[in-house]
């Protein structure tokens, strides 16, 4: 019996005394700020469709100038031409650019946007414009409707009152495949007035 007690005393340790609770010693952990947390969870899935928005720094206007919009369009065609993306639709607004494309798997989403920004940088600098450091990205899920994305892109210049309902906005495009089924939903290639309400 004495052996048993001796073994028990060896195993038991005295309890540590804790200091009383002091709220001043608490460390408040704030979530990281900026774009770095977003980049950590950015995924690239070949075959997936992405809706991207790229803005100018400080939202300065001028992207829809013909020379800049032309340079952007040329780079979008180059990205589609070398099979980096399958470009579905795009619109150049005064201070931002919307893209809708399907990834081919050749480049990541970040590489596509980085290449577009790098190749159009000189055109923007002529007008004292710069691209914003980051971009907004949304990968379409299976239950997302492509028609909603195309309609949003199509209506963007009309909602911003850049053109009247009877005019066609020059700095936008849609792939032939998507145009085949989307254009019949329009009013002679123009939006229905109730869409803007």
**Does residue 21 lie in a domain region?**
no
pLDDT in tens, 106-157: 999 999 999 999 999 999 999 999 999 899 999 999 889 999 999 999 999 9
**Does residue 163 lie in a domain region?**
yes
Domains: count for the chain:
1
Query: For residue 146, what are its two tokens?
Result: 């492509």
- Residue 85 is part of a domain; what is its CATH number? 3.30.70.1290
**Does residue 121 lie in a domain region?**
yes
Range of the structural domain that residue 55 is part of: 45-196
175 neighbors 86 (Cβ within 8 angstroms): yes
Q: How confident is the model at residue 28 (pLDDT cuts 50, 70, 90)?
A: low
Residue 46, CA distances (Å) to 79, 84, 170, 177 in order: 15, 10, 30, 19
What value does the CA radius of gyration of the chain take, rounded to a whole number of Å? 27
Q: To the nearest whole percent, how much of the chain has pLDDT over 90? A: 64
Distance of CA 38 to the CA centre of its chain: 10
Helix (H) or strand (E) holding 173: strand 172-174
Which one is predicted more confidently, 12 or 44? 44
**Does residue 125 lie in a domain region?**
yes
Going by C-alpha positions, the residue among 106, 9, 129, 8 that lies closest to residue 57 is: 129
pTM of the model: 0.77
**Does residue 31 lie in a domain region?**
no
**Does residue 25 lie in a domain region?**
no
């Amino acid at each position: 019996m004495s052996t048993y007690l001796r073994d028990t005393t060896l195993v038991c340790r005295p309890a540590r005394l804790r200091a009383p609770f002091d709220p001043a010693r608490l460390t408040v952990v704030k979530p990281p700020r900026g774009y770095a947390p977003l980049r950590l969870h950015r995924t690239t899935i070949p075959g997936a469709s992405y809706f991207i928005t790229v803005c100018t720094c400080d939202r300065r206007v001028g992207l829809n100038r013909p020379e800049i919009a032309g340079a952007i369009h040329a780079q979008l065609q180059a990205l589609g031409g070398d099979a980096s993306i399958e470009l579905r639709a795009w619109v150049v607004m005064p201070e931002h650019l919307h893209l809708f494309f399907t990834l081919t798997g050749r480049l990541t989403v970040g590489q596509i946007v980085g290449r577009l920004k790098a190749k159009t940088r000189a055109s923007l600098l002529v007008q004292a414009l710069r691209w914003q450091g980051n971009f907004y990205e949304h990968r379409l899920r299976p239950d997302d409707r492509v028609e909603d994305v195309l309609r949003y892109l199509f209506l963007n210049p009309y909602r911003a009152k850049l053109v009247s309902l009877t005019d066609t906005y020059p700095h936008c495009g849609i792939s032939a495949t998507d145009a085949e089924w989307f254009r019949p939903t329009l009013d002679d290639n123009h939006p229905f007035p109730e869409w803007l309400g």
